[in-house]
Amino acid sequence: MSQDKYILFIDGVCNLCNNLVRFVFKFNTKSNILFAPLYGKKYEETNKIIGFPNNLDTVVVYSMQENVYFIKSEAIKFILLELKYFKLIGYVFYLIPLRIKDFLYDFIARIRYKTFGKTTYCKYEAFIKTDRFLE
């Protein structure tokens, strides 16, 4: 992948999502993935440029250079391809049809609060004290 910068927009009150941010922060050795809350200030600014679908409730990866975005399983695949040690898993995603990947993604998304819990505030702000966190 290029030296493009990406923004990972994520639900800040979901414990699964907060753990995804920690995971990406740890293994994104190129530091080219930035983090921002879904429906935060940066999301709204980006939405004016790109025009995201209404009522998104999913992981979104936005390429600042290419001005494109990925959602659901395609966003997860993209993230894996950017992480040291996990590229192979990302390549395996190419072998699985999008319908199946998104079905599994949607299933996990539906049970994420019940299974992993929910907080009342964005937890990942507390441990990411760098310029990689956007509001």
Provide the β-strand partners of residue 10.
37
d(CA 133, CA 135): 7
Share above pLDDT 90 across residues of the chain, in percent, rounded to a whole number = 52
Calculate helix-pair angle for 15-27, 98-116, nearest 10 degrees: 110
pLDDT tens readout for residues 26-53: 899 999 999 988 878 999 999 998 999 8
Share above pLDDT 70 across residues of the chain, in percent, rounded to a whole number = 88
What pLDDT does 125 receive?
56
Domain ranges across the chain? 6-127
pLDDT tens readout for residues 56-103: 888 999 999 999 999 999 999 999 999 989 999 999 999 999 999 999
| pLDDT at residue 104 greater than cutoff 90 | yes
Annotate 35-102 with DSSP letters as a single string: EEETTSHHHHHHHHHH-PPTT--S-EEEETTTTEEEEHHHHHHHHHHHSTTTHHHHHHGGGS-HHHHH
| pLDDT at residue 117 greater than cutoff 90 | no
Q: What is the mean pLDDT of the chain?
A: 86
What is the pLDDT confidence band of residue 1, given thresholds at 50, 70 and 90?
A: very low
| Predicted structure pTM score | 0.85
What pLDDT does 122 receive?
58
